[in-house]
Structure formats: structure tokens, C-alpha cells
Amino acid sequence: MHYLVNIGLETHVQLKTRTKMFCGCLLSTETEPNTNVCPVCLGLPGALPRANKEAVKLVVMSGLMLGCEIARHAEFARKNYFYPDMSKNYQISQSGAPLCLGGGVEIHEGGVPSGAPKRIRLDHIHLEEDAAKINHYARHSGVDYNRCGTPLMEIVGMPDLASPDEAMEYLQRLREILVYAGVSDCNLEDGNMRSDVNVSLRPEGSDALGTKVEIKNMNTFKGIHAALEFEIARQTALLQAGGAVVQETRRWDGDLGETFSMRTKENAHDYRYFPEPDLLPVDLTEEQVEAWRALLPEAPEAKRERFQSQFGIPAYDAGVLAAQKPLADFFEATVAAGAPAKPAANWIMGDLLRLLGAASLDIADLRTVTPASLASLLKLVEAKTVNGPTAKELLEEIFEKGGDPDAIVKERGLAQVSDAGAVEAFARQAIDANPKPVAEFRAGKKASLQFLVGQVMKLSKGKANPKLAAEALAKLLAEG
């Protein structure tokens, strides 16, 4: 019996605001516990939440990037449960009326670039507050409320993913888009992007989803991939042995590489959601939404296509360049500065990335080589003012110390010699100085010509135009 997999992700993304969701406390990166908290964070009697407009804006921008319908009427709701990480013993979230509805993320079938395009549907996106951090010690547990109230956006995907690899591509695309939009850093190490995943198996041929198992709160893509693979194998074995999957929440243990039943009363929970009376509803006007739409950057997908059509560069190049906004911006700026598009793409993806890699430098932090200087270098190459090898050396030099290629070429007379007379002079010297190869050439050993060209380059200190050199040599040797 063969089984098909359905995976759905609920991804919590920390929004890039200055302050918390419902109070003016600084978004804490503080390691000293309980130093970014106030009466609201602590749920003191009489404390009231105050919704942060920036967080609403960032969620709406995300929704627009992901093709969601932006709700005209959104409400906050209280989700009731007792746990020390929620100071009020209810979490302010959104239930009946979230900010964004629908939408989707484009991936490839199988999670591989060669796969057919596939759209993973989103159910909705809502805004909520993060919980506090609980630390466990030998004899007691301690709570640090610094993180309590951090704005989170929960992106609820449909169970459209068919494999762990598709889940990976989904998360990478999602991350790419959100970082692009500037709504989050999606820093996995800092837990900026955490996912609850649910997995279910169904026999091939059946459309009805199987019993789903949820694995909660994972923050690394690798962990999610491994957990999914383990869970799919576990469920497959279970089903093939004629067993049944129990609906439950499991915990992923990365060290052991296994999921474990959490045995919590997850299903016994009765959250008693109801409208949050301390916060007024958010009724977004067309004008407001359009104003925020205007702030959106171009989506990577769209940029890929535009690069191909506008600059006539191959799909692969367009993909590589569009994948990182700084790289894409550098490329466009270079072309805008007059560089021919194809060479610009090649040089950026080739030599420039190599140099950046060697210096382990991010292109966003690159100050020496500018789009302008790269453009003028590429123009010199195009005009055959300098030859390839010289250009490479120049790029390396500019990468080191910066500077303007035109100036350097002038000042050092690096321009290649394309004057036929001058090249012929070098050719003659080469012939006179190397009777043996000359004889061999005349005897029919064509390869010897390359040696002589090399000699011409040497004599011209690399400045001779190699093509002219070969022509001049051939002519002179023919004359005999």
C-alpha cells in the first residue's frame, strides 16, 4: 500500500517593530531577564493593551506580498489558557476576523527547481503576541517576561505540501518574501521564524486527509525537514503494520532524531476565544491599504521574470541575481550605469561573488567596488580597451582598495595595444628571438604559433591585443 503525504505549516514570524505589540516597551534583545517589561507585560491589575499600528501595517504588507485578501474589518480576540508564559492567562490574538485571508506561496513540485510550478494555499494570516520565556532549574522554574508581548504574525498554510522537500522550498520562499518586504529579519537562530507542522498520510487514490499529527514550535529548517521525514516514516510503518495514527501533538528531539508524544491535554483545551473588549476593531480603508501597498518592494518571483525579459539574461542567472535583494539591486545599478547586461550578470555572479566569498563579505556591505566602477570596468572590456586578464586583475585591485578603473588604466597605460604597427614590431622581435619555434612552425607545427603569440604578449607586457598578435605573426611568417 502506498501513501500520499499532506503537510501543513503554521509559521510564526516576529515582526520588525521597535516596540512590543501592546505596550511601549522596547522589543527585547535583552539577555538580562525582566528588564524590558511594564505593567502591561506583567498583566498587573488595571493594565490595558494598546495595539501597535506598525505591527498592523507589517502584517498587511505581508498579506499583500503573499496575494492575500486584506480584511476590511479585523478584530482582536482573547485566547484563554493558564500558563505562566502568558501574564494575563489569556493571549491576545485574532480568531474570527484576522487581518489577511487566503493568499499563497509559489513553489515547485517536489521542491526542486525542475519541478512544475505549484501553489501552496494560505488559509489566513493573523497578528498575536508572543509568550514569556520560562527557564527550568533543579528545584523551580523561573519566568522572564522580556519576550512577552513581542508582535508575531501567524501564517497559516493549507496542507498542500506533499513532501519534506516541498516544505523546505515553501519555508525558503516565505522567508525570502518576508525579508524582501522588510517585515521581519526571519532570523532562525533568534527564533524569528518558528513553525508548527502537521503531517497526515492518506492511501493513494483517496482524497480524504488522514489523521493529522502536529509537531510544535520548531525553528530550524533542517530540524523541520528531519522531523517530517521521521514522522512520515513512523506513520507509514504504523499504517503498513495495520495500525492507526492517533491525533496528537508530538515533540521533536533533534539530538535523538525522533518525535515523542507530548502527552499534554492539547485536545482537552477549551480556549474560549471571544472579542477583546480592551481593543477596538481595525477597519482598514482602501486608501490605507493602497498607501501601504505603495511601500512594497517587487516580489522575487516577479523580479526573476523581469530580469529575463528586460535584460535578456538566462533564467538561471535571473534566479541567482533575484534571490537576494542586495545582489539584484547591485546588478540593476550596474546595468543602469551603462554596463552591458549579460557580462554584468556574469562578472557579478562569477568574479565578484568569488571575491566576496573569499573575503566572506556580504554584497550589502561592499564599499570598494560600486555599480559605477564595475560598469566602467565592463565598458573598458567591451571597448577592448583592456583585455580579459587585465580586467580581472583590475577588479581584484578595486575590490581591495577601491578606485576608478578608467583612471587606473590611463595612469598605468594599461590600455591594450591594438595599433597594428606596434603589434607587428613586437611580432618581428619575437620571430627574430625564436628561430627554433619559427622553423617548427614552418615545418607545419601550427601549435608553435601560440608560443610565439605568448612571446608577443610578454614583450608587450600583456598589453598587445592577442588577436592582432596572431594575425601579425601569421602574416610575417608567411612572408618568410
Partner 1 sequence: MSDSSLDVAHVCALAHFDLSPEEMARFQRELGPIVAYVNKLSELDLTGIEPTQYGQPVANVLREDVIEPSLDRETVLRNAPDASETEFRMPRIVE
Partner 2 sequence: MAGIDISSLSVASAQDALRRGDFTSVELTQSVLDAIAAKDGAIGAYLTVDAEGALAGAAEADARRRAGEDRDLLGIPVAMKDIFNVKGQPCTCASRILEGYVAPFDATVVARLRAEGAIPCGRVNMDEFAMGASTEHSAFQVTRNPVAPDRVPGGSSGGSAAAVAGGIALASLGTDTGGSIRQPASFCGCVGLKPSYGRVSRYGVTAFASSLDQVGPIARDVEDAAILLQAIAGADPHDQTCLDRPVPDYRAALAGASLEGLRIGVPKEYFVEGTDPQVMALVRAAIEKAAAAGARVEEISLPHTEYAIAVYYIVATAEASANLARFDGVRYGRREVGPDGSLQSLYDLSRTHGFGPEVKRRILLGTWVLSSGYYDAYYNRALKVRTLVRRDFEAAFAKVDAILCPVAPTPAFKLDSTVNDPLQAYLCDAFTVPANLAGLCGVSIPCGRTADLGLPVGLQILCPPFEEPRLLRIARAMETLL
> Applying CB under 8 A, which residues contact partner 1?
17-19, 23-26, 32-39, 41-42, 50-56, 73, 75, 80, 82, 84, 134-145, 262, 264, 270, 272, 274-275, 277, 280-283
Reference 68, options 97, 99, 103; nearest CA is 103
Q: Which does 383 bind (CB under 5 to 8 A by kind): partner 1, partner 2, none?
A: none
Looking at 3-11, 37-45, 378-386, 425-433, which segment touches partner 2 (CB under 8 A)?
37-45
Min dist CB 268 to partner 2, Å, is 11
Q: In the complex with partner 1, which residue's Cβ is closer, 62 or 376? A: 62
Shortest distance, position 280 Cβ to partner 2, whole Å: 6
Residue 19 binding: pick among partner 1, partner 2, none (C-beta 5-8 Å cut-off by kind):
partner 1
CB of 133 to partner 2, least distance (A): 14
The 10 Å CB-count burial string (b at 16+, else e) for 144-153 is bbbbbbbbbb
Tell me the CA end-to-end span of the chain in Å, nearest whole number.
82
C-alpha cell at 226: 528531519
Contact by Cβ (8 Å): 26, 228: no
Contact 159, 7 (CB under 8 A): yes
Which listed range, 166-174, 265-273, 288-296, 425-433, lies at the site for partner 2 (CB under 8 A)?
265-273
What is the C-alpha separation between 231 and 237, in angstroms, rounded? 10
Contacting partner 2 (CB under 8 A), which of 44, 295, 358, 359?
Answer: 44
Q: Which is nearer to partner 1, 136 or 367 (CB)?
A: 136
- DSSP conformational letter for 161: B
Q: Where are the alpha helices (DSSP H) in 182-299?
A: 221-240, 286-293
Cα–Cα distance for residue pair 210/194, rounded to 1 Å: 24
Q: Is 202 an interacting residue with respect to partner 2 (CB under 8 A)?
A: no
133 binds partner 2 (CB under 8 A): no
Cell of 136: 527550568
Minimum distance of partner 1 from residue 284's CB (angstroms): 8
* 37/167 with CB nearer partner 1: 37
Beta strand 77-80 pairing with 73-74: unpaired
Nearer residue to partner 2 within complex by CB, 169 or 276 = 276
Q: Does 272 bind partner 2 (CB under 8 A)?
A: yes
Q: Which residues touch 290 (CB under 8 Å, ≥6 apart)?
A: none
Going by the DSSP 8-state scheme, the letter that residue 346 receives in this structure is H
Q: Is 347 exposed, middle or buried (0-12, 13-18, 19+ CB in 10 A)?
A: buried
CB 472 within 8 A of CB 424: yes
Site for partner 2, residues 68 to 97, rule: CB under 8 A: 78, 80, 82, 84, 87-90
Residue from 237, 246, 280, 291 touching partner 2 (CB under 8 A): that is 280
- The residue behind cell 505562566 is 84
Question: Measured between alpha carbons, how far is residue 65 from residues 21, 29, 181 in Å?
Answer: 22, 27, 7
247 near partner 2, judged by CB under 8 A = no
Beta-carbon count within 10 A of 97 CB: 18
Q: Which one of partner 2, partner 1, none interacts with residue 45, CB within 5 to 8 A by kind?
A: partner 2
**Residue 264 or 309: which CB sits closer to partner 2?**
264
Work out how close the CB of 263 gets to partner 2 at its nearest, in angstroms, rounded to a whole number: 15
The alpha carbon torsion through 361, 363, 365, 370 (nearest 10 deg) reads 120
**What is the smallest separation between the CB atom of 80 and partner 2, expressed in angstroms?**
6
Is residue 262 part of the contact set for partner 2 (CB under 8 A)?
no
Residues at the interface with partner 2 (CB under 8 A)? 39, 42-51, 78, 80, 82, 84, 87-90, 141, 143, 270, 272-274, 277-280
